[in-house]
Amino acid sequence: MTKYVFVTGGVVSSLGKGIASASLGALLESRGLRVTMIKMDPYLNVDPGTMSPFQHGEVFVTEDGAETDLDLGHYERFINARMHKHNNFTTGQIYDSVLRKERRGEYLGKTVQVIPHITNEIQEFIARGARLGQPDEAEIAIVEVGGTVGDIESLPFLEAIRQLSLRLGRRNTCFLHLTLVPFISTAGELKTKPTQHSVQKLREIGIQPSALLCRADRPIPEEEKDKISLFSNVPREAVISVWDVASIYRIPRMLSEQGLDQLICDELGLSTRPCDLSVWDDLVDRLEHPATQVRIAMVGKYVDLTESYKSLTEALVHAGMHTRSRVVIEYIDSEGLEQQGTGALAGFDAILVPGGFGRRGVEGKIAAIQFAREQRIPYLGICLGMQLAVIEFARHCAGLANANSTEFEPKADQPVIALITEWKNADGRIEQRSESSDLGGTMRLGAQQCPIRQGTLAQRIYGNAVNERHRHRFEVNNTLRPAIESAGLVVSAETPHEQLAEIVELPESVHPWFVGVQFHPEFTSTPRQGHPLFISFIKAAIARSRQAVEQAVLAK
């Protein structure tokens, strides 16, 4: 039977429950246990797919096409198990499921209430998420409760896990509580009172934490640990200090050295081999002792909220680990490029345009792509970044001066990017949407495999096939593709049935490294394996950096 570790948070949000949970998962997995992870989000949205990145940060897409919380990206980066749609659910999904059951008459006319119907449904969703895939179940399921203890919207989840712990018994469940220990600079000391109140609130609900993860900007002294233990009714050895570090990949070692994984195994009655953190130690060593450095310009419109590109920035860090290089990412506001020109891009070793939606800042991104192409700077375009690369090439190299996407200009004269339904009628005319119509189409989500054209840069990176995750509506317009390809842009991979462009590139005779991909490769990058596309991109940036140094030496 699956055993459960429930992770709650107190005082404030954004303390790092996802990182702490994922790090614990890595520790338990290193002990030989089959681990999976579940995130319960207390908001009423069905999923974060329609939420603004400023509200929610990145939307992480799983292999089966679910739009989920960004914490699932942390889970996949720290443990080997792949996440699926059942590993993340929201209050909206719970209520939707209960109301559908009520409409079907499954409650036999009973009054439907939060207790027991909503809490029972939450427990069913937890059990479903604990399955690694039929018929296997995880030995350990780490369940993260979103929000903060004391929030009204989190109460049904907390009540559900309290009930579940009673039903499964003490040796099958345990609770971790992540809380804040702030440093008050005017007093010159750490304050434990917020943690005391947070644990008190949790105990009022009926949950006694087995261990406390105490977040602070510095290691917590022994005296404060003793005080927290005394007033929180938690054993002294179960008060774990979690302080700020330069890399999240140091967290597993930090937790293990304080005995968290052994404490959890003791609580759950598990006898395992000792944890082996040699992989993580090697990764941290690679990260902290680079042989070179590269500067990457990431051109986007969410530059004030880097959580919007969390998986992408981590994928670049992973590539840095595997190339022994420090990757310095500088965020460039694409709207600023529209107003001030591309001078801000000078001196970078590579340029990256990530995915996104909407027309704001698009012309600035196109200007950045033109700069990268003309200056022969390594370029990687992801999703929208690939589509804009096609538009830029069509405008300036293929004679399609009015090339655009119908996402930005519904009545574009030359819609090189469009919805499949807009491509053509029986007579070959482009079918256009009205200004008042919505985005339309169906979002292409999840993993899809396709073959790669032989003799291309993409083939040297991926091999003969690519299988990556998607999250987009618009595609390269196949009716205008021949004109673009004849001008020199290479479509090096396309879907096997619809012939939709998946990868575009420039020949190496024209540009040293210029690639656009319709999918999101950042979702499958992990620190242990890295990702071949990002590793190749960083290698190209290193070559550019070395070339610049050599030219500077010759100039002197």
Q: Which are the catalytic amino acids?
A: 383, 520, 522
User: What 3-state DSSP class applies to 68?
Assistant: strand
- Under 8 Å CB-to-CB from 338, ≥6 apart: which residues? 361, 363, 364, 367
Enumerate residues 6+ apart whose C-beta is below 8 A from 405.
387, 391, 412, 415, 416, 417, 418, 474
CB-neighbour burial class of residue 117 (10 A; exposed 0-12, middle 13-18, buried 19+): buried
Residue with tokens 């040699």: 278
How far apart (Å, rounded) are the C-alpha atoms in residues 38 and 90? Answer: 11
Are the CB atoms for 379 and 372 separated by under 8 Å? yes
Cβ-count burial of 140 within 10 angstroms (0-12 exposed, 13-18 middle, 19+ buried)?
Answer: buried
Calculated CA dihedral for residues 16, 129, 270, 273, nearest 10 degrees: -70
Strands 501-505 and 475-476, bridge-based pairing = unpaired
DSSP structure string for 353-402:
E----SSTTHHHHHHHHHHHHHTT--EEEETHHHHHHHHHHHHHTSS-TT
Angle between helices 71-78 and 17-30 (to 10 degrees): 20
User: Where do we find the tokens 């590579």?
Assistant: 350
Q: With beta carbons less than 8 A apart as the criterion, state whether 510 and 460 touch.
A: no
At residue 497, what is the residue type? H
Question: Hey, what are 506's tokens?
Answer: 């420039």
Q: Which residues contact 99 (CB under 8 A, 6 or more apart)?
A: 112
Name the residue with tokens 């109301």.
Answer: 99
User: Could you please report the per-residue DSSP string of 517-532?
Assistant: ESS-GGGG-BTTTB-H
The CA-to-CA distance between both ends of the chain, in Å, stands at 70
**How are beta strands 490-494 and 501-505 bridged, if at all?**
antiparallel
**Residue 411 near residue 402, CB atoms below 8 Å:** no
Tokens of residue 264, six digits: 């959890």
Structure tokens at 338: 């529209």
Residue with the two structure tokens 């027309």 = 359
Q: Could you give the CA distance from residue 299 to residue 155 in angstroms, rounded to a whole number? A: 41
Q: Which amino acid is at 84?
A: H
CA dist 41 to 47, 161, 202, 518, Å? Answer: 9, 14, 18, 29
Distance between CA atoms of residues 445 and 251, nearest Å: 32
CA dist 239 and 255 (Å) reads: 11
Cα gap 456→444, rounded to integer Å: 25
